[in-house]
Amino acid sequence: MSDARKYFNLASPFAMKRGGALRGAHVAYETWGTLNAARDNAVLILTGLSPSAHAASNAEDPSHGWWEDMLGPGKAIDTTRWFVICMNSLGSDKGSTCPASIDSATSEPYRLNFPDLSLEDVANAAHVLVKSLDIDKLGCLIGCSMGGMSALAYMVLHPGSVRAHISVDTAPQAQPFAIAIRSLQREAIRLDPNWNGGQYDDERYPDIGMSIARKLGVITYRSAMEWNGRFARIRLEPEQREEQPFGFEFQVESYLESHARRFVRTFDPNSYLYLSRASDWFDISEYGGGNVMEGLKRIRIEQALVIGVSTDILFPLEQQEQIAEGLEAAGAKVEFVALDSPQGHDAFLVDIENYSRAIGGFLARL
Amino acid sequence: MSDARKYFNLASPFAMKRGGALRGAHVAYETWGTLNAARDNAVLILTGLSPSAHAASNAEDPSHGWWEDMLGPGKAIDTTRWFVICMNSLGSDKGSTCPASIDSATSEPYRLNFPDLSLEDVANAAHVLVKSLDIDKLGCLIGCSMGGMSALAYMVLHPGSVRAHISVDTAPQAQPFAIAIRSLQREAIRLDPNWNGGQYDDERYPDIGMSIARKLGVITYRSAMEWNGRFARIRLEPEQREEQPFGFEFQVESYLESHARRFVRTFDPNSYLYLSRASDWFDISEYGGGNVMEGLKRIRIEQALVIGVSTDILFPLEQQEQIAEGLEAAGAKVEFVALDSPQGHDAFLVDIENYSRAIGGFLARL
């Protein structure tokens, strides 16, 4: 399989926010376009919990990326103008050092010996990657979902490192509803006997826990409104139904099942647990004496675009409003776009037309 | 323990809507107040998925009921005026015949040999119970949550049997979001190895599946808005935290855990599965040629009060609007009350002040 990933070795030891350090760690990333002579046309994308660095196809890897329609020549994030970097989060198993990686000290996978992971660690790894490319200041830092929180960490920890910011469907801190959902996802994995305290393998693998976690994710990433139009109460054909008690009968059930099947064995369960908990922990108010607005006001950038969706139940629109207000109070010129896309939190992956218009317009005006 | 339950034996065999029949089945119920000479002051309450018939304390059972503050002398449902009946749903394990009951044909619990259960069966059992009390026409039929769907079934199947109706936080049919949530709850139970195709016992019991199902229920019964005010990001005290990897750290997590612990061993898992699926199946449009409005228009009553809450994500307000519109189109005088209670679907159990005002006012005007 072709692979466009590059790898950047982090300083060793790489100190983690909550204590401990990684030795010999690296992050995977991909790039599109060309860095200009002034080195001021770089865009960094920080991702949600599960995507890889492969945001779009490129010469080395022509397969479709997770934001294929957003990124490329002539697209909203126009790679004929911008040098785009997408990094796989530290702690994610898509190429970066993660709990499934081999710990050089023991020659065994870290598993639960991986140190506590925070989104500040993700941000710090991204910052040293950018510095290693001899880029002093990002033209734009884009963060989607969890990546939006990592982006806030990046900006508050590294003043002067970002000119403009695009915040997509994210939050300045996790609210209790989102914590409850993620806690339950983690519990489904933890309580699966095959998780076995993190000591699973391909034979004994927590498929059930991962499947429940993923389905709960998909339910909260989309919206009831979209599903009313898309699935309503349509039944599966008799031959599609599960032949077991209480088996699937409605289309929406098999939709969730197919999402889960694609995910369960392609994401390391321990890495999922670490990233999920890092999302619960992140709180910009830590940088503002316990106050979200004061935390946001410590971010120094020139311009920002903040996008949210009215149908998002995981990162509700009021949280994007908070980000917009806080960045404006900090002195940035802020555009706030509230969309009515029916797809919920995942709208940024689906409603390309509206997100393209907002993101493309903002980048073109920079 | 004192017990106020009475039992009514259903005709044997008692035919079920989707096929099969129960033999020697019964339903449990409790009553408050006195039936008047004209036998026209009866109120029947049909419950949500998990409550028992013990809606309120009474002489035989002074323990608090699940709607204690709503029901009693001088309360919104005033038992000095009304003769109130609350029935435990057929298929529920709080006294009525259910999958945990002994099948007289085998002298073993039914478990999955219990016939398919529908809310029409619940409604039909309630109707024969009411007839057995020599009540031709209910003064008012109240249905909460799942019980609201059972009530719609009651009225559409038994024209002329109800004078007034109070519909509380319910829907004319399950939407795909609600189906997805319930399907995932059932799956958590079904995939628990201890469920064992319904053949569990006290030693091997699907605690994990039931716990996940209950937590997911509680998450969807309440609202993000309530939790922002109630839990925010408050941590547990160190001594309250779980000493295990990814253990609970936030108050909202231990809140869910305490809800789950109270539920897991007090509700029969197979009964939960049957009632949950019955909720997915119910669809008033079956009585209107596939059209919800046409189904509702077949209901013949004089007056109705329809209550819903803007923060309910499981039975969204638009579904109560549908019920109100449909009953009005059918010729009833309808009051529609849209509340902004922050507690979500469960508001009818918590926001007693607003629900009392609406329900008490409506009943007083009858």
Q: What is the pLDDT of residues B21-77, one digit of tens each?
A: 999 999 999 999 999 999 999 999 999 999 999 999 998 999 999 999 999 999 999
Band (pLDDT 50/70/90 cuts) for residue A242 is confident
Q: What's the mean pLDDT when you consider all of chain A?
A: 97
Interchain pair A173, B233: CB under 8 A = yes
Q: How many CA atoms lie within 13 A of B188 on its CB side?
A: 31
pLDDT at position A1 is 55
Q: Using the beta-carbon criterion (under 8 Å), do B179 and A250 form an inter-chain contact?
A: yes
List binding-site positions of A for substrate: 214, 346
What residue in B sits closest to A209 (Cα-Cα)? B188
B93 labelled ligand-binding:
no
Determine whether B145 is an active site residue: yes
Write down the catalytic residue from A54, A158, A259, A345. Answer: A345
Using a CB-CB distance cutoff of 8 angstroms, which residues of chain A are in contact with residue B215?
180, 184, 187
A288: how many CB neighbours lie within 10 A of its CB? 18
* Cβ–Cβ below 8 Å for A230 and B176: yes
A52 to A4, A29, B59: CA distances (angstroms): 11, 9, 64
> CA B84 to CA B156: how far, in whole Å?
21
On chain B, the residues whose CB falls within 8 A of the CB of A190 are: 244-246
- Tell me the shortest Cα–Cα distance from A300 to chain B, in angstroms: 26
Exposed / middle / buried, residue B347 (Cβ in 10 Å: 0-12, 13-18, 19+): buried
Looking at chain B, which residue has its C-alpha nearest residue A111? Answer: B245
Pairwise CB contact (< 8 Å): A245 & B181: no
Kindly report the number of other CB atoms within 10 A of residue A240's CB atom: 11
Pick the residue of B110, B116, B117, B177 with the most A CBs within 10 A to test the interface with A by mutation: B177
pLDDT, tens digit (0-9, with 9 covering 90-100), for B225-263 = 999 999 999 999 988 888 899 999 999 999 999 999 999
How many helices (DSSP H) and strands (DSSP E) are in chain A?
11, 14
> Which one, of B76, B97, B77, lies nearest residue B11 by Cα?
B97
CATH architecture of B178-272: Orthogonal Bundle (1.10)
Contact at CB, A283 and B233, closer than 8 angstroms:
yes
pLDDT tens per residue, range A139-185? 999 999 999 999 999 999 999 999 999 999 999 999 999 999 999 99
Q: Is B79 helix (H, G, I), strand (E, B) or coil?
A: coil
Percent of chain B whose pLDDT exceeds 70: 100
φ, ψ of residue B126 to 5 degrees: the values are -65, -40
Mind giving me the DSSP string for A101-161?
A: SEETTTTEE-GGGSPP--HHHHHHHHHHHHHHTT-SSEEEEEEETHHHHHHHHHHHHSTTS
Q: How confident is the model at residue B1 (pLDDT cuts 50, 70, 90)?
A: low
Question: Which of A190, A245, A249 is opposite residue B197, by nearest beta carbon?
Answer: A245
DSSP code of A78? E
CA distance B118 to chain A (A): 13
Q: Per the annotation, where are the binding residues of A?
A: 214, 346
CA distances A192 to A248, A301, A359, B212, Å, are 22, 45, 41, 11
Q: Are B173 and A273 a contacting pair at CB < 8 A?
A: no
C-beta atoms of A256 and B228 within 8 A: no
B69 is catalytic: no
What is the token pair recorded at A206?
């927590």
Report the C-alpha gap between B286 and B277 in whole angstroms. 16
Task: Inspect the interface and report whether the beta carbons of A250 and B187 lie closer than 8 Å.
Answer: no
Q: Rounded CA gap, B231 and B243, in Å?
A: 21
Report how far residue B138's alpha carbon sits from residue B42's, in angstroms, rounded to the nearest whole number: 5
Q: What count of other Cβ atoms lies within 10 Å of the Cβ of residue A68? A: 16
Question: What residues of A are in contact with residue B227 (Cβ under 8 Å)?
Answer: 175-177, 180
Nearest CB among B180, B232, B246 relative to A256 is that of B180
* pLDDT confidence band for A325 (50 / 70 / 90): very high
Question: What does the pLDDT look like over A20-54, one tens digit per residue?
Answer: 999 999 999 999 999 999 999 999 999 999 999 99
Tell if the CB–CB gap between A184 and B216 is shorter than 8 Å. Answer: yes
Q: Express each pLDDT in B185-232 by its tens digit.
A: 999 999 999 999 999 999 999 999 999 999 999 999 999 999 999 999
Closest residue in A to B311 (Cα–Cα): A313
Q: Which of B50, B145, B211, B223 is catalytic?
A: B145
Domain boundaries, chain B: 6-173+284-365, 178-272
**Residues A316-327, mean pLDDT to the nearest whole number:** 98
B224 and A316 in contact by Cβ < 8 A?
yes
**pLDDT band at A213; cut points 50, 70, 90:** very high
Distances (CA, A) of A154 to A82, A150, A161: 20, 6, 8
Please write the tens of the pLDDT for every residue from A72-101. Answer: 999 999 999 999 999 999 999 999 999 999
Number of Cβ atoms within 10 Å of the Cβ of A194: 17
Comparing alpha-carbon positions, the chain A residue that sits nearest to B208 is A191
- Report, at the CATH architecture level, how domain A6-173+284-365 is classified: 3-Layer(aba) Sandwich (3.40)
Nearest by CB to B179, from A188, A197, A252: name it: A252
User: Nearest CA to CA, how far is B264 from chain A (Å)?
Assistant: 15
ipTM of the complex: 0.96
Most distant CA atoms of chain B, gap in Å: 65
Is A145 noted as a catalytic residue in this protein? yes
Which ranges constitute the DSSP H helices of B41-158?
A: 119-132, 146-157
Q: B9 CB contacts (<8 Å, ≥6 apart)?
A: B24, B25, B26
- pLDDT tier at A2, thresholds 50, 70, 90: confident
Please tell me the distance from the alpha carbon of residue B222 to that of residue B234, in angstroms, as a whole number. Answer: 18
| Among A183, A215, A245, beta carbon nearest to B112 | A245
> Which amino acid belongs to residue B36?
N
What are the chain B neighbours of A250 within 8 Å (beta carbons)?
A: 176, 179, 183, 280
- DSSP run (H or E) holding A168: strand A162-168
Q: Which of the 8 DSSP states describes residue B198?
A: G
Strands (E), chain B: 6-9, 14-15, 21-22, 26-32, 42-46, 71-72, 77-78, 83-87, 102-103, 108-109, 138-144, 162-168, 303-309, 333-339
